[in-house]
Amino acid sequence: MNHIRLREFLEESPFAAYVETCWNSDHYEEFPIATGLTGCDPGGVNSQLVFYHVYTEKLKLRSAIPGRAARLALWLAGLVREDGLCRTNDGVTDHPAYASTMGDALGTALFHAELIGLNGENRKTVMDALTRLAERHPRLRFPEGAQGKTQQLRFELRVYYWMAQLSDDPVWKERFEILLANGLRNYVTPAAIDGPLLQPSLNPDWTWNYVCTGGITDQHSTNTHTPAYYCTEPNGFMFVYLHALRNSFSERRKELDDFCRNYIAGLLRNLSRGGHLASDLDGYGIHRAWYGPVLVEGLPLESAMVAAELGETALAGYCRWYIDRYIEFVKSRPTYAESGLPEAQPFGQKINIEAQFSQLATARFYASIARALAEFGEVEEIPTIEPPFFGSYAWEAQWLRISTPAYETSFAGHTCLRNIPVVPRYGDPNLGTLIGGAPLATLFGKKELFYAASFPAASLWHVEVDDHNGRRFVSCSTSPEDHTAMTVRSSTGEMLTASDFDPYDPPCNFFLGNADCLEAVWERRERQYKIDFHVHNRYYADRIELEFGMRHMAGHYCDKVTFVVPIPLVNAEFSEDGNTFLPLEQLTALPAVIRWGEQEKCLIRDLRISGGDSDRLEVKALALPQTPGNPGGVNAFSPHPTLQLRFEVTPGVMTQMHRLRCTLVFGETRSSSSPES
């Protein structure tokens, strides 16, 4: 794949022209002025545009508008009240992220004041506003803002850093060091502050560093398990660390080197080769991963530069490769030619929860690129290295993430019950948490979304068991009380379970050769009813071999075993001979091949169901309704309507075990049904 020149991308993008249609001669609105619409988040959008204009001036881009950054920073300073809170079009906000991003913008303008023409009384006005934020904001001020809880290494750290750089008061250098030390400690060890427990961020996949009180689930913040935040944290501590080194503010520190190295290694599992975030474990996270402005939050610019600084050539190359893929993704969107921005909700989503964000929120995408080029220009020349076939095992959540050049997927051993994201302020009743134990939850093939599960079990791969007493048991795990066990096996000889790790160890990544495989072996027991479910998946670089099934007592206790295989209705077809294909709706018997997809194809082949000689098999194709929460409906994880294939087995008297086995391969348009060696 091509190595994208970041400067050329900034020069050629239509974003610079588009954003000027949003300029109202004072500040930027969230929509073009001609629409008559007004924004409600002036600080958030305009802070990003301060970054953009400061650094386009520093880079001397053709699109640079001399004086615009200084004027915008001065206007932004006027939003900071005397008490440190920030004005918005709707009133006032005390959100620390909002204030910290404004503080970062003001500090950036002050640091480059001479370059952008921010002089005299105007410079003093901006400095006074930054000082009010730092000293008086109820959540940023010392000591609250230096406790190291919430997202302070992402947010408050930037404000403290600029105050340490720019203020004449030497106390800010000390306060910056206190926040940095507290934040690092609270990231990697459990800590209690004023009673509540802080969950560490590196435990082990997401940003967990929110205060976790004992409230009920609908009172918790929705952001506690969103991988988007794990991807954006480097914009705080990694930017500050590298900027401090480059400007002789501090020297290399082992604890920060180690922390950044571990963080970047763990970052890989949350980046997708398709150019967006890769979250397929929890409900809110998967929605965020497909939301336009959040897609570009994950651009790993600081991570690439810090990895290079640490001598981690491979990690730096991987991050640089992902940067190019994210830019390619944005350029491929249907809205790019008009605005340079992706649409607010790609992949056909209609997610009400994201109505809180503005159309121009993706200004941060261009601001981040300009900032990285201007501050750390070497990012342009880092050689790209496509990540090889790798897997990331998150023992705490029983989550195995798989990423290869051919496909990406995950296996979740149990439901992520950190909290269920249905809250009064942001929630949507159709958001929910994915159910663990599904043999397949999401599937990307190169740049195409092949399959994504919704919350209803009907859209998940699973096994249903109907017993003689009218009860139905579903294989997927829905409760922490379920008796589950998961083992990850590598063809290199490793065999790992959660008991092999301290929960605060660095992330566990496997880098494998093309002939290697990773195995996920999972079991769940319904002890009271003597039913055992299992999944045994083998992940190769070019294919997935799936097996899932159940075991029960012999006799007439079990009336029916149903293997449920949902297929998105995107050119979905089946073949009985591997050559002639028919619409999937016509399926009535076990096929040789099933395929679906747009640009490329995902194929299910070698499909076989094992049990007893006296078992009876019936095959049904059931279209799932396109209702809210279901595939193809509003707020569904998958934008495609889905056909549920039901392979219904009536067991013989002596049958005790049932299995479905199949192989998924990618990028083919025809396939024989013969197994691969």
Q: Can you give the pLDDT at residue 416?
A: 56
205-238 tens-digit pLDDT: 434 434 433 333 333 333 344 567 778 888 899 9
469 C-beta neighbours (distance < 10 Å), count: 8
Q: What are the backbone angles phi and psi of residue 135, rounded to the nearest 5°?
A: -95, -25
Q: Can you give the pLDDT at residue 288?
A: 67
> What is the rounded CA–CA span in Å between residue 117 and residue 66?
8
> What is the rounded CA–CA span in Å between residue 55 and residue 574?
54
Query: Contact 365/330 with Cβ under 8 angstroms?
Result: yes
Helices 96-111 & 120-136 angle (0-180, nearest 10): 150
> What is the rounded CA–CA span in Å between residue 119 and residue 218?
49
148-194 tens-digit pLDDT: 876 688 889 999 999 999 999 999 999 999 999 998 888 777 667 66
> What is the rounded CA–CA span in Å between residue 418 and residue 397?
10
> What is the rounded CA–CA span in Å between residue 73 and residue 80?
11
Cα–Cα–Cα angle for 342, 346, 349, rounded to 5 degrees = 145
Say which DSSP state 307 is in.
Answer: H
Among residues 482, 489, 475, 478, which one has the least CA distance to residue 521? Answer: 489
Mean pLDDT by 10 residues, the chain (677 residues): 90 96 92 83 88 98 96 97 92 91 97 97 98 96 87 89 96 97 82 64 43 37 54 89 96 93 86 81 62 81 96 96 94 94 78 69 92 96 95 80 93 63 46 74 84 78 93 81 88 87 75 93 90 96 96 84 94 92 93 91 94 90 83 76 94 90 80 36
Q: Can you give the pLDDT at residue 211?
A: 41
Neighbour order of strands in the sheet with 408-412: 448-452, 442-445, 408-412, 399-403, 390-394, 508-511
Cis amide bond preceding 66, omega within 30: no
Q: Count CA atoms closer than 13 A to 406's CA, side-chain side.
A: 16
Return all residues near 90 (Cβ < 8 A) that are at least 6 apart.
40
CA distances, 123 to each of 59, 114, 119 (Å): 22, 10, 5
The secondary structure element, H or E, covering residue 649 is strand 642-650
Cα–Cα–Cα angle for 45, 51, 54, rounded to 5 degrees = 135
Q: Can you give the pLDDT at residue 101?
A: 94
pTM: 0.91
